Structures are given as structure tokens and as C-alpha cells.
């Protein structure tokens, strides 16, 4: 018998990659010079590695070097008859347990985001069912360009994992975000993906996104939540082996197959969906930015300007039910984790909110920093629970989701085990 806690510790070690098939997909950026080191780090922990190069990557790293360190022919041409005869690109896609795209240039990211398949690397990524990990590396201006940021969001919505980039001095002389993460960090991330069973047997419900409260047929009140953080947690919980129900507000991007999803619009609809499916839920994570109030009356026809002298309009609002506080009253009580986005006295407000709503833990986002929280690719948080607080530094929302799941399993190990003792052994 291995406890989940022990399993997770063992599985997070890079040695859990022993025997795994890692397909390293190298695109044409200066960071490609680190590809042989990635291969060596992976082989040192016992992984089997094959390399596929994008059309121009050979300008930055030679196939001969990569062949020497992998011990296998390097693949770079879809039309290479000999290579295709030995292992066709579809077989290569099936061979991989994990695909690591490192470095991922702006061009490769754009191709992945739009499902293009015009060279062996992009075709293989499209054909594989293995998890895809993307390590962006490019000039800091290219990285910060809205098109690249949109492509990053798009690949994340497809369920790809993004690692890095780091910030610092760049090969071109610029300083800023765009340096590829170091090989040992990439390998550690791949190892963390092997933590597949820490939530097996657990039923997890997650709310994500905003709610939208109609005023009349054309107007509503809402907030800036994109749903990406909630969606990322749903994907991370599923990757950790849980059965996941995602209650998604408007605008939340597509979730992967295998996640049971219920789309809702208003807070009342979200509450009904949550209550209806709560029986048998072991862990509830409320990430949604639920509107606290809704208009008391929803006009059935479009409201017209009054033309009156005051030039103002007064709407009366009523309070929406507190969905997560209701979940915390449910018996048997699931493990209940809330989120709090705060702008001032953040710790004080979040701690009080956790106690007031009777939550087991709350994840605080300091949204005074516009680069995290609402509608951004990144997040940073403080995980607050009864006996401690843990800082989760700025990272992509998917990385934060994976870290959060790991931390919750560690902190609430006995409680998670109690809800489903059978899932503790292997």
C-alpha cells in the first residue's frame, strides 16, 4: 500500500520519467542550442527520447548532435521516405507519452494555436493524444505582442501546458520575458505531469467564469472574469485522475473531453446546477466570480431613455445567494475551497471570508496587480487554510492549477483519503 501522499512525492521525482517516451519537438530559435542538454537530462532519469525538428531548427542545432545524444535518428522531414518507413509520423505521435515543444518560437506557437500542420513538428503535435508541454522562447517584444499572448491563451485553452518563459537578458541584447526555462525545470515539469492518480476516485466540482445578470433583453451587469483559472483547475483535477464537473459561466473557453460541463448564465442558474449535482462530490472549488447582486426586476422589453429631466436611472438590486456558503452547509460536507479576488487589505479580507463562509481553504488573488487575476494568462496567489498560508508565486494559470492541486492533496491528505479510502492504495 502506498499512500497518495507518498505516491505524489515519488511521482514528482524526475525518476518517475524512467521508461517514458518523450518526443522533444525543437523549433527554430536560439534556445535550440539547449536541446542536447534537455535530451541528456531526460536520458539521465531513464526516459527514452526522440527528437523532431521544425523546418528551420537545424540552423540553430545540428541533427548530428541530437542524433548522438539521443542515439536515434532525428526527424525533420515529412517526405523522408526512409524515416517514414521506419516510423511514420502518426506512429511517432502515438509513440510519445509526452511531447515537449522546446523551444517554442512565436511562429510555432501560432501554428499550434491554429491547428496548422505544414511541417513534421506541427503535424505530429496535431496527431498526438499525448500531453503537450510548450516552452516559449523568443524576443521579449515578440513574447509580449498581443498576437503571441492570444496564441498562448489559445494553446492553453486546448489543454497544452505552458512552462515559462523566464525573464532576463536575451541573446539579442534585450532584457525581459522570453528566455526558455532551464532544462532541469522543464524535466521537473514533465515529472509533475506523471502525478496522474492523486485524485483518482475523487469527484470534484468546479465553478468558473463570471455570472451575467440581465437588466433587460440587451443589457446586463457582470465582471471581467474569463474563466481561465477555473477551467485550468478543472483540467488539472482531471489530469490528476478526478471525475470533474465544471459549472461554467458565460465566455469560458472549451474544456477537454472527459470533463462533465454545465453551462450557466446567472448566479441563480449556477446555484441550481451546483445544488443539483452536489450529491457525491468530494471536493468543491469555487473559482467563479459570482455577481453578488442582480437587478430586482428584469425588464421584458428593451428599456428606453426616459427623456426626463434628471438624466439618471436608478435600478434596484437584490442579493444573490452565496453558492459556496451553501455548499459548506451540505452534509456530508465536501472539502470546500474558495477563491477571493481582493484589491486592498487583501490578507485580512480573504482570511475573514474563509471563516465567514466556513471554507476549508481560500485562494487569495491580489488583483491590484493587473498582470494577474481577472482575464490574464498568469496568476499569483496565497493559499490560506486553518493552520497556515502558502505563497504561490506568479505563474501561468495552468501551472498554478497544478500546484494548487498538489498542495491541496498534501494539506488535506487525510480528509481526501477519508472520502474515498479505496483510492489510497495502488
Quote the CA–CA distance of 268 and 274 in Å, as a whole number: 10
* Contact track, ligand PMT, 221-240, x by CB under 6 A: ----xxxxxx----------
Q: How far is CA 13 from the centre of its chain?
A: 21
Best CA proximity match to 353, nearest among 338, 375, 366? 338
Of 107, 139, 365, 399, the one binding ligand PMT by CB under 6 A: 365
The size of the chain, in residues, is 426
Of 125, 130, 290, 424, the one binding ligand PMT by CB under 6 A: 290
- Give 36 or 230: the residue with its C-beta nearer to ligand PMT: 230
Stretch that binds ligand PMT, among 35-43, 69-77, 164-172, 369-377 (CB under 6 A): 369-377
Of 191, 259, 289, 424, the one binding ligand PMT by CB under 6 A: 289
Strand-pairing partners, residue 383, are 363, 390
Site for ligand PMT in 319-358 (CB under 6 A): 320, 322-324, 338-341, 353
User: Given the C-alpha cell 522562447, which residue does it identify?
Assistant: 137
- Give 310 or 391: the residue with its C-beta nearer to ligand PMT: 391
Report the relative pairing of strands 48-53 and 388-396 from DSSP bridges: unpaired
216: DSSP letter: S
**3 state DSSP class of 423:** helix
Site for ligand PMT in 114-133 (CB under 6 A): none
Asked if 211 and 249 touch (Cβ cutoff 8 Å), the reply is yes
* 172 annotated active-site: yes
Under rule CB under 6 A, residue 164 binds ligand PMT: no
Question: Which of 86, 90, 171, 172 is the catalytic position?
Answer: 172
- Give 29 or 230: the residue with its C-beta nearer to ligand PMT: 230
* Distance in Å, CB of 263 to ligand PMT, minimum: 15
- Give 177 or 250: the residue with its C-beta nearer to ligand PMT: 250
- Give 159 or 209: the residue with its C-beta nearer to ligand PMT: 209
Residues in Cβ contact with 352 at an 8 Å cutoff, skipping those fewer than 6 apart:
none
Peptide bond into 381 cis (omega under 30): no
Cell of 30: 536560439
Strand-pairing partners, residue 289, are 210
* Distance in Å, CB of 359 to ligand PMT, minimum: 8
Element of type H or E holding 398: helix 397-411
- Give 183 or 249: the residue with its C-beta nearer to ligand PMT: 249
Write the burial class of residue 333 (CB in 10 Å: 0-12 exposed, 13-18 middle, 19+ buried).
middle
* Contact track, ligand PMT, 371-390, x by CB under 6 A: --xxx---------------
Quote the CA–CA distance of 159 and 157 in Å, as a whole number: 5
- Give 292 or 348: the residue with its C-beta nearer to ligand PMT: 292
57: DSSP letter: G
* Distance in Å, CB of 311 to ligand PMT, minimum: 31
Cβ neighbour number for residue 264 with a 10 Å cutoff: 22
* Contact track, ligand PMT, 184-223, x by CB under 6 A: -----------------------x-x--------------
Element of type H or E holding 175: strand 175-179
* Distance in Å, CB of 179 to ligand PMT, minimum: 25
Stretch that binds ligand PMT, among 35-43, 74-82, 195-203, 286-294 (CB under 6 A): 286-294
Under rule CB under 6 A, residue 286 binds ligand PMT: yes
Of 17, 120, 199, 288, the one binding ligand PMT by CB under 6 A: 288
In Å, how far are 58, 213, 306, 308, 351 from 313, measured between CA atoms? 65, 17, 8, 10, 37
* Distance in Å, CB of 205 to ligand PMT, minimum: 12
Under rule CB under 6 A, residue 48 binds ligand PMT: no
Best CA proximity match to 218, nearest among 303, 306, 314, 305? 303
* Distance in Å, CB of 284 to ligand PMT, minimum: 9
Site for ligand PMT in 77-116 (CB under 6 A): none
* Distance in Å, CB of 399 to ligand PMT, minimum: 13
* Distance in Å, CB of 224 to ligand PMT, minimum: 7
28: DSSP letter: S
Quote the CA–CA distance of 43 and 158 in Å, as a whole number: 28
**3 state DSSP class of 199:** coil
* Distance in Å, CB of 266 to ligand PMT, minimum: 11
Write the burial class of residue 25 (CB in 10 Å: 0-12 exposed, 13-18 middle, 19+ buried).
buried
Quote the CA–CA distance of 104 and 29 in Å, as a whole number: 8
- Residues with catalytic roles: 172
- Chain residues that interact with ligand PMT, rule: CB under 6 A: 207, 209, 225-230, 267, 286-290, 292, 320, 322-324, 338-341, 353, 365, 373-375, 397
Amino acid at each position: 500500500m502506498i499512500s497518495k501522499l507518498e505516491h505524489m512525492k515519488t511521482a514528482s521525482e524526475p525518476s518517475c520519467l524512467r521508461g517514458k517516451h518523450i518526443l522533444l519537438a525543437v523549433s527554430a530559435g536560439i534556445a535550440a542550442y539547449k536541446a542536447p542538454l534537455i535530451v541528456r537530462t531526460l536520458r539521465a532519469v531513464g526516459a527514452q527520447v526522440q527528437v523532431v525538428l521544425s523546418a528551420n531548427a537545424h540552423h540553430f542545432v545540428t541533427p548530428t548532435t541530437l542524433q548522438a545524444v539521443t542515439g536515434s535518428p532525428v526527424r525533420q522531414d515529412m517526405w523522408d521516405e526512409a524515416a517514414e518507413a521506419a516510423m511514420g509520423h502518426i506512429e511517432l505521435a502515438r509513440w510519445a507519452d509526452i511531447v515537449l515543444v522546446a523551444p517554442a518560437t512565436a511562429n510555432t506557437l501560432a501554428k499550434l494555436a491554429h491547428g496548422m500542420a505544414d511541417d513534421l513538428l506541427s503535424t505530429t503535435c496535431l496527431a498526438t493524444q499525448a500531453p503537450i508541454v510548450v516552452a516559449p522562447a523568443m524576443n521579449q517584444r515578440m513574447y509580449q505582442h498581443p498576437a503571441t499572448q492570444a496564441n498562448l491563451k489559445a494553446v492553453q485553452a486546448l489543454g497544452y501546458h505552458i512552462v515559462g518563459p523566464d525573464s532576463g537578458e536575451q541573446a539579442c541584447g534585450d532584457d525581459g520575458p522570453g528566455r526558455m526555462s532551464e532544462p532541469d525545470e522543464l524535466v521537473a515539469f514533465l515529472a509533475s505531469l506523471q502525478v496522474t492518480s492523486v485524485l483518482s476516485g475523487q469527484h470534484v466540482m468546479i465553478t468558473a467564469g463570471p455570472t451575467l445578470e440581465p437588466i433587460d433583453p440587451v443589457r446586463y451587469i457582470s465582471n471581467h472574469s474569463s474563466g481561465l483559472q477555473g477551467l485550468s483547475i478543472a483540467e488539472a483535477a482531471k489530469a490528476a485522475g478526478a471525475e470533474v464537473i465544471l459549472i461554467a459561466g458565460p465566455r469560458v473557453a472549451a474544456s477537454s473531453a472527459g470533463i462533465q460541463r454545465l453551462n450557466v448564465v446567472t448566479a441563480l442558474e449556477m446555484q441550481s446546477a451546483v445544488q443539483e449535482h452536489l450529491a457525491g462530490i468530494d471536493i468543491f472549488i469555487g473559482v467563479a466570480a459570482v455577481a453578488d447582486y442582480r437587478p430586482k426586476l428584469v425588464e421584458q422589453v428593451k428599456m428606453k431613455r426616459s427623456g426626463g429631466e434628471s438624466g439618471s436611472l436608478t435600478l434596484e438590486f437584490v442579493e444573490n445567494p452565496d453558492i459556496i456558503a451553501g455548499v459548506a452547509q451540505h452534509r456530508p460536507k465536501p472539502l470546500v475551497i474558495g477563491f477571493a479576488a481582493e484589491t486592498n487589505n487583501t490578507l485580512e479580507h480573504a482570511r475573514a471570508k474563509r471563516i465567514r463562509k466556513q471554507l476549508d481553504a481560500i485562494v487569495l488573488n491580489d488583483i491590484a496587480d493587473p498582470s494577474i487575476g481577472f482575464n490574464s494568462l498568469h496568476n499569483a496567489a496565497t493559499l490560506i487554510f486553518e493552520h497556515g498560508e502558502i505563497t504561490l508565486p506568479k505563474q501561468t494559470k495552468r501551472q498554478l492549477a497544478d500546484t494548487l492541486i498538489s498542495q491541496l492533496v498534501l494539506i488535506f491528505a487525510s480528509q481526501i483519503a477519508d472520502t474515498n479510502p479505496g483510492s489510497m492504495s495502488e
